[in-house]
Amino acid sequence: MLMTLLIAFLGFVVIASVGFAFIGGGSGSSGGSAALTKRTQTIGLGTNSRGKRGGKSAAKTPEERRKQITEQLKEAEKRERKARLTLRSRMLHAGLTPNVTQFWIMTAVLGAIAFVVPLVLLGKMDFLLRILVAVGAGFAFSYGAPRWVLGVMAAGRLKKFTEEFPNAMDILVRGIKSGLPVHDGLKIIAKECPVPLGPEFLRLVENVGVGMSVEGALEKMFERVPSPELRFFTIVIAIQAKTGGNLAEALNNLSTVLRARKMMREKIKALSSEAIASASIIGILPPGVGAMISLTRPEYIGGMFTDPRGQIMLLGGAVWMGLGIFMMRKMINFKF
């Protein structure tokens, strides 16, 4: 019975880990840059087009400023398509120190342990099946599971950052309207906002203090927190530094857009909750039923693990289960 439960558990871990490894653990919290380009049109820098006046005066019109923001978003989209999501970037997104060598050593040790444990515990099983289970467990715990954990950590950190970012914009807008410089407003955000927003803005203030430009410091922050909201803020600051204008008004409109985006995110989550619940039940049901039968009637299901035909059926079921989980995740993973 113990061996049967262990095989079922390891099979489920292998399927889930491989699925998350190929799908990507991060996920789903940021949309495409094309959608961001469309939303840029709603960032208010004024709604009336005044036409081209030539020289610097034309660049300061709302229409020209919107065009510049759109061009910068397109350039950022091209850069992001060329850039590969490296392990170092994933560790930065998760808020960890990017020590790739140490990560590989730890995952190799974890994978070796996961490879040896099934070989020792499943001594009475067929040798070839033992090797397959050991290889699957080693791959899952050395490659799939660590990256899944990094993805979960990065997604949670990004979610907290995104939820607090509109409040940070409101703080900065109130500071600018009261006469404070932008740098002092960033200091207030670093002091008042919770983790991870506060520490990230504190690092931003420190970088600016040692001579880095605000735009460059924001680009460094975007490498650690790849949030579309932060990208909007970076572009607005860069355009304002080049062309001038009412920064408080632009940031206030940006805050409004971010809150509307959050409301849309919650609405999509509510509308898709039924599909997510159904997919979760369908994914958990087969291994759950197998575990219950193993506990209540071990002799009924034991032949599936000892007979070669049953082992082939289990392997085929695991493959189809993995494909089903992959397809269901693609169907319910809405990006915006």
User: What sign does the CA torsion over 229, 235, 241, 243 have?
Assistant: negative
Q: How many Å apart are CA 248 and CA 177, to the nearest integer?
A: 7
Q: How many Å apart are CA 21 and CA 327, to the nearest integer?
A: 14
Tell me if residue 165 falls in helix, strand or coil. Answer: helix
| Cβ neighbourhood burial of 133 (10 Å; 0-12, 13-18, 19+) | buried
pLDDT tens-place values along the chain, 336 residues long: 545 555 555 555 555 555 554 444 444 444 444 444 444 444 443 334 334 444 444 445 778 877 777 777 777 666 665 555 788 888 988 999 889 999 999 999 999 999 998 888 877 777 777 888 888 889 989 988 999 999 999 999 999 999 999 999 999 999 999 998 888 999 999 999 998 999 999 999 999 999 998 889 998 998 899 888 998 899 888 888 888 788 899 999 999 999 998 898 888 888 888 888 888 888 888 888 888 888 888 888 888 888 888 888 888 888 888 888 888 888 877 665
Q: How many Å apart are CA 16 and CA 20, to the nearest integer?
A: 6
Q: How many Å apart are CA 158 and CA 155, to the nearest integer?
A: 5
**Residue 294 structure tokens:** 């193993």
Q: Residue 56: left (phi > 0), alpha (psi -120 to 50), or beta?
A: alpha
Q: How many Å apart are CA 176 and CA 286, to the nearest integer?
A: 58
* DSSP symbol at 41: T
Residue 43 Cα distances to 14, 77, 246, angstroms: 45, 18, 13
| Helices 228-243 + 247-271 axis angle, to 10 | 160
Q: How many Å apart are CA 217 and CA 147, to the nearest integer?
A: 28
